[in-house]
Structure 1
Amino acid sequence: MKKTVFGLTVASLALLANTAFADTQLKLVEVITSPARTETLKEMVSAYEAANPGVTVEIVSLPWGQAYEKLATMVAGGDVPDVVEMPDKWQALYAGAGKLASLEDHIKAWEHGPTLTDKTMAMARLAGGTAYSVPYGFYLRAMFYNKKLLAEAGVAKPPKTMEEFHDALAKVSALDGKSGYCLRGSRGGHSGWLMNAAAMNGSADFFTADGKSTLNTPEAIKGYQELIDIYQEGLAPKDSVNWGFNEIVAGFYSGTCAFLDQDPDALIAVQERMDNADFAVIPMPTGPHGKAYPTIGFVGWSIFNTTEHESDAWKLVAHLSDPENNKVWARKVGVIPVHTGADKDPYFQTEQFAGWFETLNGADYVPLVLPHQLEGFGYFADTIAVETAQQALLGEITAKEMADQWADYMNEEYTKWKANQ
């Protein structure tokens, strides 16, 4: 006679246990969605499922334009994913709200943890000093240039300084129907203004030791004025005051303008339409202090601490983040990989990637980490900076008036952030 436990046979209990194991399901939310990257993600997830029998992964793809609001609604409504694609500017918000799991112990025990670069771990710990994500790549600013246009304009070599850059823009803009610079005047253009301010300040610090914004120093104002002058002198297309990402990238690959400062994600569209022999990528021009401060951003994989399957969730993050998968993902989405040795891969040993790796490894280039720890920085970047920068470009306000508005807002946000520490 079979033993029973509260009316269930031992065999039945075993069957229930196996069924429970087989029903383990993870929800992964991607927030920077496109058909090609989603397909790549599905392939990687399928390999994870094959290696982890009994675990299935539901992929929820959110359109980038509404991703912030949709993810926030999911979390507020209790539909919290296990794993999420986490942009840098959201990480501080969710970590600060106590919603993300620390990945420190997982990374420490991971066989590939030691090959994560120092910058990768610094970014992982950006929110309060604890690793709340495994970054999957860097969006690092560098300068694309059109070799043919520079040659036609008589520019002997690509510029290394801001002064040489302005001179090159003027020479290209003298060509019939051509402009020097693909200026990003609309959403996302804040990076250009902040890089110029940092280069003139000679510092990557957004606040002084006593918590005052550096965005309206006399030096920073000179940096803003440089961009205003570029636009008002006709060294950028007139309609670039309204250009966003798609427009500036199209402006470059169409040959409308000779220079484009962008992250590696722009390389995908450019390489589809230009021969590699016709363009290259160099570090951002240095300022009067001999340094350039290119913005650096990242996206990674995070785990919500409400998950009931943290071990499986971590295995998924580790799988997506291992060196081989990371290289595949970096190529597909246009980021710089996060493991040491990636620059030795033949795929990345080209003129087109040289500017980014030189930036990461060069002493003259200090990556500018934007203050995403401030809850109101997203509103500043997407709304305040866009509106006021466009006013400045059009001559409706001065560089100083814009700078003072920015500094006042940032001072207020810093005070609120500091009070919560």
Structure 2
Amino acid sequence: MKRLLTGISAATLLLGSTALAETNLKLVEVITSPERTEVLQGIVDEFQANNPDVTVEIVSLPWGSAFEKLATMVAGGDIPDVVEMPDTWAALYAGSGQLVSLADHVAGWQHGATLTDKTVAMGSQAGDFYMIPYGFYLRAMFYNKKLLAEAGVESPPETMEEFMAASAAVSELDGKYGYCLRGGPGGTNGWIMFAATMNGTNEFFTEDGQSRINEPGSVEGIQFMIDLYKNGYAPRDAVSWGFNEIVAGFYSGTCAFLDQDPDALIAIAERMPAEDFAVIPMPVGPSGEAFPTIGFAGWSIFDATEHEEEAFDLVAALSSPEANATWAKRVGVIPIHKGADQDPYFQTEQFAGWFEQLNGAEYKPTTMPTYLEQWGYFASTVLLETSQEALLGQRSAQDVADEWAELLTEEYSKWQAKQ
């Protein structure tokens, strides 16, 4: 009997040891949709199959409230091990010392050397590498060929003036609008891009550190957006539209134009015949140039993790050439590894607008000043609230531009002081 009890005790200890050895990781995604979550789950499932001692819990936060929800989680101690980190939030978390430096991890990673220079540059903050981007979002203009033809617009617009005129013409059609305006969450890019295009520069600050967002040309670009809405060239409820709404507005035939990244192509291509739409470069402004925004997100590890090695193993699995190629094709981003652009998938006509922008001298991709610690707050909260007020006629373009400029100038001054 004693031997039996001893055996049971040993087995119990063994089972307890095994249970203690199991690693549980929490992964938070913030740019969510059913399709993206499905792809992410597939990659995570493969990782777990290859690492049976690791269990990964995926927590999906809705994008419209993700900034606040993640901040609340972190402040309350419910800190994930791995997080999908948008570029606009990186400075906030890296600058406050909450992210693990990935430099040494990547240096010892078998695929570290194949990351493109842009990937490494974009994933760096304050001289360190805090994120492995999973791809890049570059804005270009979708247009509905049928709606333009019906409205008598002979060719897609090449300039901002032509864009406004074409939007007006389509809006004369019953129940149709020119532009799928993103007035709700995630609309920062449109305001910044139009302001830069009308101002003729994508420099955010002057040599003496002043924000350029309230310069006359920038205010003209902000007013351009307001006019599209005020004149009825965008749906009235577009004041609160986010990503899903603007994409649905385009593929449903409600709007003729949509400026978006390659991620929108997936949903659109599934619902519209290829011959009914195309993607062209963003229209140029008075300077003859356009400044399409280029953004990114990626995988970061919180410093609070108790499982840094396993967390990086997960990030490495998500970022491998094979997994990244799958992610890029299914989610709609430009991939991160050298040679990935030779994949036939990215050499199709559907990607022509984006690659024309990457190669054309008149198109100058704009990177947001994500190095400013409060940029995430500005983009997710301040700009959202004030731009909606401007669309609804409660504030002028100059008024909101001055508020934005004051905040950004102050943040830039703080950043300079730390250099």
Instruction: Quickly name the TM-score band, shorter chain normalised.
Output: 0.7 to 0.9
- Distance in 2 between the 1:328 and 1:100 partners? 26
Q: Percent identity?
A: 67
The Cα of 1:145 is off from its aligned counterpart by 0.3
Q: Secondary structure at the match of 2:129?
A: coil
Shift in alpha-carbon separation, 1:107–1:395, aligned structure 2, 3 A: same
Identify the residue that residue 32 of structure 1 maps to in structure 2: 31
Map Cα deviations across residues 283-325 of structure 1 (whole Å, 9 max, x no partner): 2112222321112221111122333433332222111111111
Q: In structure 1, what residue type is equivalent to 2:93?
A: Y
Identify the residue that residue 359 of structure 1 maps to in structure 2: 357
**Correspondence 1:156-305 to 2 at 5 A:** 156-305=154-303
Of residues 99, 119, 135, the one that matches 2:133 is 135
Q: Relative to structure 2, which stretch is displaced further, 349-358 or 67-76?
A: 67-76
Map Cα deviations across residues 51-80 of structure 1 (whole Å, 9 max, x no partner): 335333333334444433443344344443
The Cα of 1:398 is off from its aligned counterpart by 3.1
Given that residues 64 and 185 in structure 2 are in contact (C-alpha distance below 8 angstroms), is that contact kept between their aligned partners in structure 1? no
Shift in alpha-carbon separation, 1:205–1:346, aligned structure 2, 3 A: same
Q: TM-score, normalized by length of structure 1?
A: 0.86
Q: TM-score, normalized by length of structure 2?
A: 0.87
Q: Secondary structure at the match of 1:159?
A: coil
Identify the residue that residue 54 of structure 1 maps to in structure 2: 53
- Unpaired runs of 5+ residues, structure 1, are 1-10
Map Cα deviations across residues 110-131 of structure 1 (whole Å, 9 max, x no partner): 3322332232222101x21321
Given that residues 359 and 365 in structure 1 are in contact (C-alpha distance below 8 angstroms), is that contact kept between their aligned partners in structure 2? yes
Given that residues 88 and 379 in structure 2 are in contact (C-alpha distance below 8 angstroms), is that contact kept between their aligned partners in structure 1? no
Identify the residue that residue 330 of structure 2 maps to in structure 1: 332
Q: In structure 1, what residue type is equivalent to 2:230?
A: Q
Q: Secondary structure at the match of 1:95?
A: helix
- Tell me, yes or no, if structure 1 residue 90 matches structure 2 residue 89: yes
Shift in alpha-carbon separation, 1:151–1:301, aligned structure 2, 3 A: same
- Distance in 1 between the 2:289 and 2:156 partners? 17
The Cα of 1:244 is off from its aligned counterpart by 3.0
- Distance in 2 between the 1:339 and 1:314 partners? 18
- Distance in 1 between the 2:153 and 2:406 partners? 41
Identify the residue that residue 404 of structure 1 maps to in structure 2: 402
Q: In structure 1, what residue type is equivalent to 2:57?
A: E
Q: In structure 1, what residue type is equivalent to 2:286?
A: P
Identify the residue that residue 142 of structure 2 maps to in structure 1: 144
Map Cα deviations across residues 193-239 of structure 1 (whole Å, 9 max, x no partner): 21111112322221112211101111112222222333334333344
Q: CA RMSD in A?
A: 2.8
Q: In structure 1, what residue type is equivalent to 2:356?
A: E
- Tell me, yes or no, if structure 1 residue 122 matches structure 2 residue 121: yes
Identify the residue that residue 389 of structure 1 maps to in structure 2: 387
Map Cα deviations across residues 96-120 of structure 1 (whole Å, 9 max, x no partner): 1112111122323333223322322
- Distance in 1 between the 2:156 and 2:25 partners? 49
- Distance in 1 between the 2:381 and 2:73 partners? 24
- Distance in 1 between the 2:25 and 2:74 partners? 15
